[in-house]
Structure 1
Amino acid sequence: MEAVKKGTTIQSLQIGMGILDIIAKQGRPLKFTDIQDLTQITKSNLYKYLNTFTQLGILYRSKDTGEYILGSKIIEYGMAAVDQENVIDRISPYLYEINEKSSSTVVFSIWTHNGPIIVKDINTNRGFNIGAQIGTILPITSASGKVFMAFMDEQIISDWKANEFKQISSEMVTHLEEERIIVQEKGIAFAKEPLVSSVSSVSFPVLNYQKKLLGSVTVVGFTEKIPTNENHELSHYLIQVGSEISACFGFTAEERE
């Protein structure tokens, strides 16, 4: 087989990946016109790309709104790339337990270069809008975002932090930096209505024996049901179960100190 020449590329593939990159970076569902404005690709060509990606499961197009988001196949690739499938298998029983205990939606998020993304959700009430779903990239102001800010390697998240900080006030940046230290100490993060009005969240990290963050587990529900500090009964439970989950991967509570 003839060796591929260095620098040889397939232009159409580059264009297609560019479209996916733009959709991923927006972090929200996009209409066809939105994508065209962002890519400046002709309607006929863009339709072919989007239709192909949708058929392959790389993109998902809502039947109700016609908007596009990242599809299940891209999530599958992402989980395979960071070897998270086994993590999800091992923590799933805990997610169901937390869901039953809290009577609220429970999601598990992992890191991508665009920020934390939801890859698993346990939601017994599908009519309840938490403002996110599998494939949603979470902001730094969310409870999960705060966990990643607190426990991920600073070099890995530096670009993400810089981009996120551009979208919030300097006062909020200062508050988040102060809160980061508390999240590291307590092992739990809180966020009041970061995505949807009346919906708040509480999150804890899943760490391994190398003190590396494997992901975050987040409880999302009506604001009045979600704790705002570590003294709440549900917070005590989540800190405890969080320690149990991390212990499955060789992490011990003493290592956080």
Structure 2
Amino acid sequence: MNDIASRSADVQPVVGDARLYTAPALEKGLDILELLSKQEHGLTRKDMAERLGRSVGEIFRMIDCLVRRAYIVQVGDTFILSTRLFELSHSFPPTKRLLNEAAPRMRALSQRSGQSCHLTVLNGTSQLVIAQIDTPEGVGFSIKLGSKLDILKSASGRVLMSFQDETEVDRLLRQLCPGMSPQQLGGHKDAFRIIRSQGFANMKSNQFSGVHAISYPIFDLNGHATAALTVPYVARLDDSQRLSVSAVQTALAATAAEMNVVLGVGGLYQI
């Protein structure tokens, strides 16, 4: 097969204005990574082949390559996802800058408030926890680093949605709730407008009893929320000196404002 023929064999029909090219080996590798990302205890080669609808022979060399490149780890006959993708995402310059500026300020916020705090970003149709600080005492409510959180049920998710372009909000809502009625759509948008007007979300948790979530946006240069800084406030029955919800909100607002200033977007954000 000549050069032109071989290239055309890899070209799919035109869709709209875009010509789609196939990369079978790459797609097999991505399928394996996506499959393992949902498995807590890993899978064997046979398990992966069955779930992907392929033979073991089709994926054998790809698995070997992913092990050599440290994207997956072999434990006996089982393969699990490594932290390589997580490390790569955190070395991406904008994310790295955000984390570098956030880490010391989040530690100071936790010390001052006596509460845990976490930083989330939009990740498809969920949000991802990219930074997290436990309570100073080590006892309290906290969220595991790398966790995926619901967008619409949480204060942080609502903050992230409230400070996006309307077209992006519409797109995400259609993906999150395909059968949503116009009334439901309007209800969510009204809630986002309220958060946008007050600049933060402050609400009792819809998922955990006794948790009061407070969340503020961290902006990018376009005025969109690139992250949400959140304190899941929990009262202690044995500590009357602990800061109140309103005092923690004030501390959180100051921390978010400082982060926006050091990231160069302070003019977009006013407490």
- TM-score w.r.t. structure 1 length? 0.69
Structural mapping, 1:220-235, within 5 Å: 220-222=232-234, 232-235=246-249
Aligned residue type for 1:139: D
Partner of 2:111: 100
CA contact (8 A) 2:25 2:62 kept: no
1:1-257 equivalent positions in 2, closer than 5 A: 5=7, 7=10, 10-21=23-34, 29=40, 32=43, 39-41=52-54, 58=71, 71-81=82-92, 83-124=94-135, 130=142, 132-140=143-151, 141-156=153-168, 158-166=170-178, 174-222=186-234, 232-252=246-266
Distance, in Å, in 1 between the alignment partners of 2:51 and 2:229 is 33
C-alpha displacement of 1:76:
2.5
Alpha-carbon displacement from aligned partner over 1:156-198 (angstroms, at most 9, x marks no partner): 4544332223498988755432221121122211353345554
Change beyond 3 A, Cα 1:120–1:173: same
Q: Is the 8 A contact 2:203 2:214 kept in 1?
A: yes
Greater strand content: 2
Closer, same or farther in 2 for the Cα pair 1:232/1:174, shift >3 Å?
farther
Secondary structure at 2:118 match in 1: strand
Give the structure-2-normalised TM-score: 0.66
Q: Quick one: distance in 2 between partners of 1:200 and 1:35?
A: 41
AA at the equivalent of 2:27: Q
Aligned-residue sequence identity (percent) comes to 16
Q: Report how many residues are paired.
A: 246
Q: What does the per-residue CA deviation read over 1:226-255, in whole Å, with 9 as the maximum and x for residues that have no partner?
A: xxxxx8222222223222221222334566
RMSD over aligned CA atoms reads: 4.6
Gaps of 5+ in 2: 11-20, 238-244
Which deviates more, 163-172 or 108-117? 163-172
Q: CA shift at 1:206, angstroms?
A: 0.9
Greater mean deviation of Cα atoms: 34-43 or 141-150: 34-43
What is the Cα deviation at residue 118 of structure 1? 1.2
